[in-house]
Amino acid sequence: MSEDSESVVIHGLVCPLPLVHDSTVVLGHGSGGKMTHDLITGRFYPPLANDDLLRGDDAAVLVSPGGERLALSTDSHIVSPLFFHGGDIGRLAVCGTVNDLAVMGARPQWLTAGFILEEGLPMYLLEQVLNSMQAAAEEAGVRIVAGDTKVVERGKADGLFINTAGVGWIPQGREVGGAYARPGDAVLVSGPIGNHGIAVLCARGELQFETEIESDVAPLNGLVEALFESCSTVHTLRDPTRGGVATTLNEIAHQSGVSIRLEESSIPVEEPVLAACEMLGFDPLYVANEGKLIIVLPDNLAETALGAIRSKPYGKGACRIGTVEEGEAGRVLMHTAIGGTRVVDVLAGEMLPRIC
């Protein structure tokens, strides 16, 4: 970091705002990285703490009065702009919550949708977003069963924010969570990374070149079902959204008290995404995905799992990217393409604000 408190350099970007600031909220608090983690653990956990919340998974796993296991999650969506190549805020809002449920092993069933509309939002944009939500809900096999709509004055919101919460049911025998990764486990990813973040950046007109990069935003519950049909044991599932694969793997390593070692040459990144990242000084490991799955499971099931998910459209590019090791708890190391080893830390500040 720079010595100047008005300007810090993080991931190659000069950030004009002080990113660490004790007394007010700053954009970095929404990054999904270290500052978000500090905000959650430092400000939200002390008053709200309970066992379910503290587990820190993508959805809470709860037990009904009759003994059924359900997953419950929530996500607010503030992506800017509302529409981008490959998706929009509506598809994002449905898929985000579907995926948070699916990575707990749940079969997503019902969603709620809460809308905050800015006065002046054109109705045809709202309708496009609603149509997109419904299409995504149908694709995922979920229903939007309850909603709420609020309107704020012009200039008090940015067009449209959508919160989705969701309920899914966890079939017997599925025990997945961030804390279940074990030394020796294989670490898989369901396809090339970084597309979503770069697609949103393109839609803002912030790239100086033409590109066809599409967001990967997609519901992953089909992929999760295919995985459980073929593999008896899956330890951890997670979708690497804000903070990217690097931050997600750090969370898993921390929750499970293990190390994770990555092979840089195995990490799939499409050529245009790589080119955009190089130009912008981004590391694709920190760029958000909205349709990718990180899978941690016993080494001897890795090939079976890869076969199962490669048979699905959203899992075609699946591959193994690393291994869980005993080592220092919470540490992620990468064997680099040029033969060295480096620590892969969590995202420190804010790289791409408002990408979901």
Interacting positions 38-67 with its own copies (CB under 8 A): 39-40, 43-44, 47-48, 50, 52-53, 59-60, 62, 64-67
Only segment of 36-44, 232-240, 258-266, 328-336 that touches its own copies (CB under 8 A): 36-44
Instruction: Please tell me the distance from the alpha carbon of residue 73 to that of residue 90, in angstroms, as a whole number.
Output: 17
Nearer to its own copies, 86 or 349 (CB): 349
Nearer to its own copies, 23 or 208 (CB): 23
Contact assessment for residue 8 and residue 1, using Cβ atoms and an 8 Å cutoff:
yes
What residues form DSSP beta bridges with 335? 263, 341
What residues form DSSP beta bridges with 169? 70, 107
Only segment of 76-84, 179-187, 250-258, 280-288 that touches its own copies (CB under 8 A): 76-84
CA dihedral 14, 217, 273, 26 (to 10 degrees): 0
Encoded amino acid at 11, one letter: H
Contact assessment for residue 100 and residue 61, using Cβ atoms and an 8 Å cutoff:
no
Give the residue among 230, 191, 200, 233 at the shortest CA–CA distance from 317. Answer: 191
Tell me which of 7, 18, 20, 27 binds its own copies, using CB under 8 A.
27
Tell me which of 8, 11, 19, 36 binds its own copies, using CB under 8 A.
36
Site residues for its own copies, 103-122, by CB under 8 A, read: 110, 112-122
Nearer to its own copies, 10 or 324 (CB): 10
Site residues for its own copies, 295-354, by CB under 8 A, read: 353-354
Nearer to its own copies, 264 or 290 (CB): 290
Hey, what are 36's tokens? 């978000």
Contact assessment for residue 13 and residue 350, using Cβ atoms and an 8 Å cutoff:
no
H or E stretch covering 116? strand 107-118
Tell me which of 9, 151, 337, 343 binds its own copies, using CB under 8 A.
151
Site residues for its own copies, 158-217, by CB under 8 A, read: 158, 161, 163, 165, 167, 169
Q: Are strands 332-335 and 259-263 parallel, antiparallel or unpaired?
A: parallel
Question: Minimum Å distance from CB 281 to its own copies?
Answer: 21
Question: Minimum Å distance from CB 321 to its own copies?
Answer: 27
Nearer to its own copies, 121 or 227 (CB): 121
Peptide bond into 81 cis (omega under 30): yes
H or E stretch covering 109? strand 107-118
Instruction: Please tell me the distance from the alpha carbon of residue 275 to that of residue 207, in angstroms, as a whole number.
Output: 11
Tell me which of 1, 14, 152, 279 binds its own copies, using CB under 8 A.
152
Hey, what are 3's tokens? 């010595």
Site residues for its own copies, 124-143, by CB under 8 A, read: 124, 126-127, 130-131, 133-134, 137, 143
Hey, what are 249's tokens? 């793997």
Would you count residue 26 as binding its own copies (CB under 8 A)?
yes
Nearer to its own copies, 146 or 329 (CB): 146
